[in-house]
Structure 1
Amino acid sequence: MSIPEQRSQHLRQLATGIVSRLRHAGHIALFAGGCVRDQLLRTPPHDYDIATDAHPDQVRLLFEKTLPIGAQFGVMLVVEQGNPFQVATFRAERDYVDHRHPKEISFGTPEQDAFRRDFTVNGLFEDPFDGTIFDYVGGRADLEKGIIRCIGNATDRLEEDRLRVMRAIRLAATLDFQIHPNTWEALTGCSSNLNEISAERIREEFNRILLSPRRIQGFDLLDESDVLRTLLPEVEALKGCKQPPEFHPEGDVFTHTRLTLASLRAWAPLHLVLATLFHDIGKPGTAHEDQAGRIRFNTHEKLGAEITLQIMKRLRYANTEIEITQTLIRNHMAFKDVQNMRPSTLKRFLARQNFEDELELHRVDCLSSHGSLSNYEFLIAKRAEFSHAPLVPTALISGKDLLTLDWKPGPQFKMALEVAYNAQLEGLLSSKEEAIAFVLEKFPNP
């Protein structure tokens, strides 16, 4: 059993204990939503939600550690062995006032609770003791057919919480399902209103799409639904931005960007996925033709990093995430000259803090354009060649050593240390004595 499977099994045991305690107190309690869906798809759930007829105050009295994350809506958090479980009272909802929160709720039955949920595949309940599935909305049939369908009137469901537009896309992509035509029609009709949702909620759903191993399917749905046009007009602007065909036979910058996303390894970290999405976002603003008529994008990596800052600030990303994403974009053109670098320069290049992510971005950038991986393969070989020793070792000599030779601090002082260290990196020096002799030879009159 894999580690995710073991953790899921442990969480199920804890969640079953919560259901058991609620039932012993005379309440109805069932597993609800995504955990039921995932189990029917034979995917280990990463969390378990519980639905019950117990009211929040009753839940609070039954469990030692609780947190009222939405008690006014009937939602409590129960903590067992450090693991949080959402316990929600069966409820019906009416009249959403801000495209997220219902104006009126009333506690109700499992069936009423199912009909206020978003998609049929999320509207299922399970008895954890005998495995009985309670399906009031046709969710099991849609699971078998691979369909994402809104419960009831699709436009009403999506208008209640417009983030459901992105959630439908994420579910379709991650589960490899199709979005039902009625839901798709309603979804595309709501896409232009997504900017009314808080940036933080949009960012979190967007991240979940980007971090899915099937991120390219999610990206395509974001594009086809016009969600991309609404949320990221800077990416939409890549469409029709021509590139020199001798280097980019794949087509315009948007096509290239899509291919780079498709080429990324499945479990790429978020900052790398974002850098891949935005790496050429500066091209429309720098595109021009030189005297020979060739299309060029001089310093597009610099402008791209600036545009990325604006986008990520707009979506409320953390500064650390922004900085590393900008760094990858700013450096993505540095690979073109690696085979001409001196060993000392190359070692410093290989030792850069974000080199592994920069190398992966370079790989997918090449695969999605001219197709040549010569620089990538060169760097892999050089890294193996240099692996017997630290890439940037401690310098053999320091300023203190030069002071003992009666050197006085100044421009030549710093230059001598730099030249000696470069020689050390290139394998010309291996001891302090050799380094001092080297400096005295190169700088006889300090």
Structure 2
Amino acid sequence: MRSILVDAGFDVMEAQAGEPGLELASRHPPDAVVLDMRMSGIGGEEVLRRLLQRDRRLPIVIATAYGTITGAINAIKEGAFEYLTKPFRNDQFVDVVKRAVARRAALHKQSAENVRADIFGLMGKSAAIQKLADEIEAVARSDYSVVVQGETGSGKEIVAQSLHRHSGRVAKPFIVVDCGAIAESLINSEFFGHEKGAFTGAAARHCGCFEAAAKGGTIFLDEIGNLSIAGQKALLRALEARTIHRVGGSEQISLDVRVIAATNDALKERAEAGDFREDLYYRLAEYVISVPPLRARPEDVPFLAERFLVQARDCLGQAPIDIDAKALELLQAHHWPGNVRELRNVMRRAALTSADAVSAAHIADRLNRAPLPPSQTQMAAAAPLRDQMRYQVRAVERDAVLDALNRAKGNKAEAARLLGVDYKTYRLKLKRLEGEGGDIRQ
């Protein structure tokens, strides 16, 4: 069968049994599969089920003997593309596989169009975002672990969600874990869960994030660079064994999960320097996607500003308004150290304070280091001394917090060290300052 397909011009990989075949399909996503029904180990029905669980649109051709034709028909009902009864003619075999691959190509084109429409509708249509969409489309339907790297606020979670939405796991859970917010003593419990009475305060069984995603879901590990060494070790062990057990329990829980990790660090350099486990990095980074900062794609700023303004006005129950040309020029000229989150907060504030249109005066005071318009400077000077001092302190603190984040290239832990404050305090200040414009997540 392999020789027939190779002679017909196909690239072919083969496996001698069901489990090796599943592993091969996971590492090298195929355009079509030819599957026997009777094999050593797990049978064709189970292999079919698992393949379609990963990717409902994968064309699978069943090769079956006459005696198992009933099983083949059932496989068609389960989602197989077609079946062939042995012995079959070579030309018949090649024709079926050609049609299966052609179907995959058509679905692939449709998928690419859907990915691009999804990303363009959320992030813009600049050349940088078009390249990003290409990368997402290339890896979305595989089971590769992906590292999404980029500055804080650039849209890494949007990329992770898109990878899940356009994968074969879309009907399964998408579990988000903020690695920077988990205390080291609670890592095993948060990742893997615990049994009732496993430790003081464990009043009931707790399902960890990996168990929540274990049956075909996707787990998104945000801020993976802030995970402690103990957490890195536990994570690596789980990914290698593909099984976990709850703290205080003995039940082995099998993992069928896809892992997407986000970082604002130069994680590869940290791994090479010994500051992050190198074996874990290469386990996670089967594919790496870099999200461009907003300053690298200023042509997307008008689209994003309009989108955030419409969302904010709608949330306020108010009619849409326009952004004047001067305001757009000011927005496009800004460096955006806080990236898309910062732009979103600026537009939310503008939506609240603008009546008929958003002008440069409405947004200048919200931009880092931007001078206040004359009218607002006069208003501040006319305020009581206490209010003037409070305003200036907030402005200085905001500049310091965002400057540290910019110098740390989006790494919150490093920004906290630069300011000489602990990580928790820095996160609270950042959330408060960014949260003045509403929800900071982008």
TM tier, smaller: under 0.3
Higher relative contact order (CA 8 A, sep 6+): 2
Which structure has the larger Rg?
Answer: 1
Q: TM-score if structure 2 supplies the norm length?
A: 0.22
Q: TM-score if structure 1 supplies the norm length?
A: 0.22
